[in-house]
Amino acid sequence: MTVHTVKYWLTEHPNIVNFRWSPTQSYASTWFFLFTAVSSYVIAAVSLHILLAVTRRRRGLSLGPIPALHSLAMALISAVIFVGILLSAAAEIRDTRWLWRRTRTTALQWFLCFPVGTRASGRVFFWSYAFYLSRFLHLFRTFFAVIRRRKLSFFQLINQSSLLCISFLWLEYSQSFQVVAILLTTVSYAVVYGYRFWTAIGLRGACFPLVVNCQAVLLGCLTVCHVGVLCIHLVKRGGCNGIGAWLFNSVLNAVISLLYLKFYVKTRSLSLRKQ
């Protein structure tokens, strides 16, 4: 497969170039679907946890190779989305650079701050839509944890539900910052899920908590980028597109960061006690 072929299938295919986020043209693109999906996810996870608790099984159930195959699939999907949105962003910069000269917008500013009036259509938003759909596959991790360990984490429920809502808002309001967020998140997921597959098939793991550290670095990078968006919005004439959704996104990101910080400190203290 040549580089030209890869670029065609990831950036120039008609379905990618002509993509448009619309309740009538895009699957799972309505508020009703989002609320139904999040509610069903929480209810199903809690019900499964209660059901297994009632049966009083001392050990979790075995899922065989399913979690490993899920991790492999998520690693590959995340890698494809990363490459796709990176190449698509480069193509959008190439095609619209002439327009940026009028508004004095640089490539870095565009990555963090879409011009006001940006519509959710084209290459970048196609891959944002693919990322949104992939969020539904991430939800299976919760059920794997409940079935195998009979453990339901409140943080996991909040984290997965919030990230699903955030990725929906990116498309619904053509929100700024999403390109960088998807790039950082997918490269992190490719590493994390690839590592999970590596250890699931019996290969030796890292000598440090790789998954926890990767997620901590990701949250730190996203926080820095949020600050960058705010700075550009305040100094740029007209501001950034979808800033209201970005504000809600920032609040959810802050909640997730605080919950994860608590989880990270607890994990580190337990590991130090074992040493």
Contacts of 70 (CB under 8 A, 6+ apart): 137, 140, 141, 144
pLDDT in tens, 194-238: 999 998 888 776 666 788 788 888 988 888 888 889 898 888 877
This prediction's pTM: 0.92
pLDDT score for 261: 79
Cα–Cα distance, 141 to 119 (Å, whole number): 33
CB 135 within 8 A of CB 164: yes
Distance, first Cα to last Cα, the chain: 49
* Residues of the chain where predicted confidence (pLDDT) is lower than 50: none
pLDDT score for 191: 94
CB 72 within 8 A of CB 183: no
pLDDT score for 16: 94
pLDDT score for 272: 59
**Nearest CA-CA partner of 148 in 209, 71, 41, 64:** 64
**What is the per-residue burial (b if ≥16 Cβ within 10 Å, else e) of 135-161?**
beebbebbbebbbeebebbeebbebbb
